[in-house]
Chains A and B, each alone.
Chain A
Amino acid sequence: MDNTFHASRKMILLAVLLMLAGLAAIITGLITDPSRTWSNMLLNNMYFISISVGGLLFYALQFITGSSWSAMFQRIPLALGSFLPVGALLMLVLYFGLPDIYTWAQPGIAEADKLIAHKQPFLNTPFYMVRIILYFAMWVSLFFMLRKHAKNEDLLPGTAYYKKSRHHAKVFVFVATVFFSLAAKDWIMTIDAHWYSTLFGFRAMITSIYYAVAVIVLIILFLKRRGYFTSMGEAHRHDFARYLFRFSIVWGYLWFMQFLIIWYANIPELTAYYYPRFVGDWKHLFYLEMIMNFVIPFLIMMSDHIGKKPTVMAAISILLLAGLWVNLYLQIMPGSYGVIRFGFIETAMWLGYAGLFLLVVFSSLSRMALMPLNHPQLEESKQHHL
């Protein structure tokens, strides 16, 4: 088997068909129910951008920790980052729908709402767009730098580009932790403009790595079935399973900490966020979110034997992909759209985005060697066993 991935014609066709379905959903949605469509668009933007940033964070973490086991899978988290430029465009498109999502973007709200008037220097449409551009300028430029180093490394033996990648990985981790937390607060938390949580940004960042690992696992298992990664064995699956298990604990911990402190303090400004979700119409989704993202992954991944079976890992990863959707739905919809609706628009839009994401990621994968050629820890990674 050669070392480059070729997307089959069938896959490209499928991705394009999914994108067309998504486009149809956006068009019909904008005509019939603009608020719902814009909110869904924000949801899907956040969904795939967070996976993208999470993939790069995972990539950077492998350099910073000097992990050798993952050296041969490096190109997959790196390819997840290639969605960032597309994500930037999609975030900019949101400009036309801001008043449909955010209360603070509605014209004349400053006169009616004192609190929002107070926050207006930060929460206004021009600055919001500028911030989007700034965030993406940083992430995309760092992504291209990391990608350039990886490409150069394939051409030139030696550790020069490995060291450069490691340097930029450190910069990226700093930039992503600070500015992805800010971005999550910007895009999601300000929907409920009166409410705030200091934990929110950090939670979004942990969430991004958690689900990025799930996507990486799915892509790797898929490629393994296609005949790539022949030296991948039980030990590598074990490590990925441990990643999923540990992040499920961290995710559950942060989810609960944010809830517990607000529940305990019982301050009306803060409980206003949790009241509809915990007691009101959304309470079933509230429990479902916890079960999908923490309880099931935690209990199943706890056992080493069960956790590293490929079918179990794939099933948990797919569950997590649904879990991320529920997670974001519960963060966005109560504040922006206000009613639980699940139908053609939601499904088709997610599928369309998924098609676009797969197309971008797989075309980025096919333009590079699937396994790095000159990575100093490559052999160690291939020989990795328990």
Chain B
Amino acid sequence: MNSKHTIGVFDDEDKLVKAIKYLKSKHANIKDVFGPSTNHELIKSLTTESRLPYLAVLVAAATIAATFAFLYYTSVIDYPLRYGGKPLFSFPPMVVILFLVTILVTGGVSVMLFLGRTQLFPGKKAWIPDPRVSDDRFYLVMDQNFNPEEIIRWLREFGALEIIETDIEKSSIS
């Protein structure tokens, strides 16, 4: 894997947002943005379409099916016990259990999927590509999947004050 990164340093949000929009339109990979503050425009320009909600719907559907199968198995096949004169298979009381189990499982699995996808877990070491990223400048971190020279040229065009080329392996601070 190519661990080399190009970092553009900006001092103005507006320039940064313009650069991000342009780079996105060219399908360059934006790895991360570090900065002292944020605003609406910046978040909006960085937001990508998430497929997590669709996955959550699938998980919910699977949970409903599995829970229903379990409830049917326990109350009708494995331990048929008639109480209150109700039929062995009666749907209304199942609804509450289906509802709660679906919320619990879907919520939990969604969190797990999110953490897995963003590679976050308890005790993870912070990834800091450059020691100065916590300064009062905006640091736009780019993957070098694209032609690096071209990215540097674009960043300069959009008003980057400084361009840093770095290797993450070396710059990770533990």
Q: Do A and B share a complex?
A: yes
User: Which residue in B40, B53, B84 is a CB contact (below 8 Å) of A264?
Assistant: B84
Binds A, one of B15-23, B70-78, B91-99, B104-112: B91-99
Task: Indicate if the CB atoms of A260 and B84 lie closer than 8 Å.
Answer: no
- 1/0 per residue, CB under 8 A from A, across B50-64: the answer is 000100010000000
**Residues from chain A with Cβ under 8 Å of B95 in the complex:** 256, 260
Query: Chain B contact residues (Cβ within 8 angstroms of A): what range?
Result: 10 to 19
Assess whether A266 is interfacial by the CB under 8 Å rule.
Answer: yes
**Residues from chain B with Cβ under 8 Å of A259 in the complex:** 92
How many whole Å from A386's CB to the nearest CB in chain B?
8
For the residues of B in contact with A, the DSSP-based class is helix
Query: Which residue of chain B has the shortest Cβ distance to A264 in the bound complex?
Result: B93
User: Which residue in B53, B57, B85, B93 is a CB contact (below 8 Å) of A266?
Assistant: B85
How many whole Å from B15's CB to the nearest CB in chain A?
22
Task: Indicate if the CB atoms of B96 and A260 lie closer than 8 Å.
Answer: yes
Q: Which of A214-253 contact B (CB under 8 A)?
A: none
Query: Which residue of chain A has the shortest Cβ distance to B57 in the bound complex?
Result: A302
**Residues from chain B with Cβ under 8 Å of A266 in the complex:** 84-86
Query: Which residue of chain B has the shortest Cβ distance to A257 in the bound complex?
Result: B96
Determine the distance from Cα of A304 to Cα of B86 in the docked complex, in whole angstroms.
Answer: 40
How many whole Å from B1's CB to the nearest CB in chain A?
34
For the residues of A in contact with B, the DSSP-based class is helix
How many residues on the A side are at the interface (Cβ–Cβ under 8 A)?
10
Determine the distance from Cα of A385 to Cα of B84 in the docked complex, in whole angstroms.
Answer: 54
Task: Indicate if the CB atoms of B92 and A260 lie closer than 8 Å.
Answer: yes
Determine the distance from Cα of A95 to Cα of B40 in the docked complex, in whole angstroms.
Answer: 59
- 1/0 per residue, CB under 8 A from B, across A349-386: the answer is 00000000000000000000000000000000000010
Query: Which residue of chain B has the shortest Cβ distance to A263 in the bound complex?
Result: B92
Query: Which residue of chain A has the shortest Cβ distance to B84 in the bound complex?
Result: A266
Task: Indicate if the CB atoms of A260 and B93 lie closer than 8 Å.
Answer: yes
Query: Which residue of chain A has the shortest Cβ distance to B85 in the bound complex?
Result: A266
How many whole Å from A349's CB to the nearest CB in chain B?
34
How many whole Å from B71's CB to the nearest CB in chain A?
15
Determine the distance from Cα of A264 to Cα of B57 in the docked complex, in whole angstroms.
Answer: 30
Q: Which of A296-326 contact B (CB under 8 A)?
A: 302-304
**Residues from chain B with Cβ under 8 Å of A385 in the complex:** 40
Determine the distance from Cα of A147 to Cα of B64 in the docked complex, in whole angstroms.
Answer: 48
Task: Indicate if the CB atoms of A264 and B92 lie closer than 8 Å.
Answer: yes
Q: Which of B27-73 contact A (CB under 8 A)?
A: 40, 53, 57
How many whole Å from A381's CB to the nearest CB in chain B?
16
Query: Which residue of chain B has the shortest Cβ distance to A304 in the bound complex?
Result: B53
Determine the distance from Cα of A264 to Cα of B91 in the docked complex, in whole angstroms.
Answer: 11
How many whole Å from B131's CB to the nearest CB in chain A?
35
**Residues from chain B with Cβ under 8 Å of A264 in the complex:** 84, 92-93
**Residues from chain A with Cβ under 8 Å of B85 in the complex:** 266
**Residues from chain A with Cβ under 8 Å of B40 in the complex:** 385
How many whole Å from A267's CB to the nearest CB in chain B?
11
How many whole Å from A375's CB to the nearest CB in chain B?
23
Interface residues of B (CB under 8 A from A): 40, 53, 57, 84-86, 92-93, 95-96
Instruction: Supply 7 A–B pairs (Cβ within 8 Å), ascending by A.
Output: A256-B92, A260-B93, A260-B95, A260-B96, A266-B85, A266-B86, A303-B53
Supplied contacts A256-B95, A260-B93, A303-B53, 7 more A-B pairs, CB within 8 Å: A260-B95, A260-B96, A263-B92, A264-B84, A264-B92, A266-B86, A304-B53
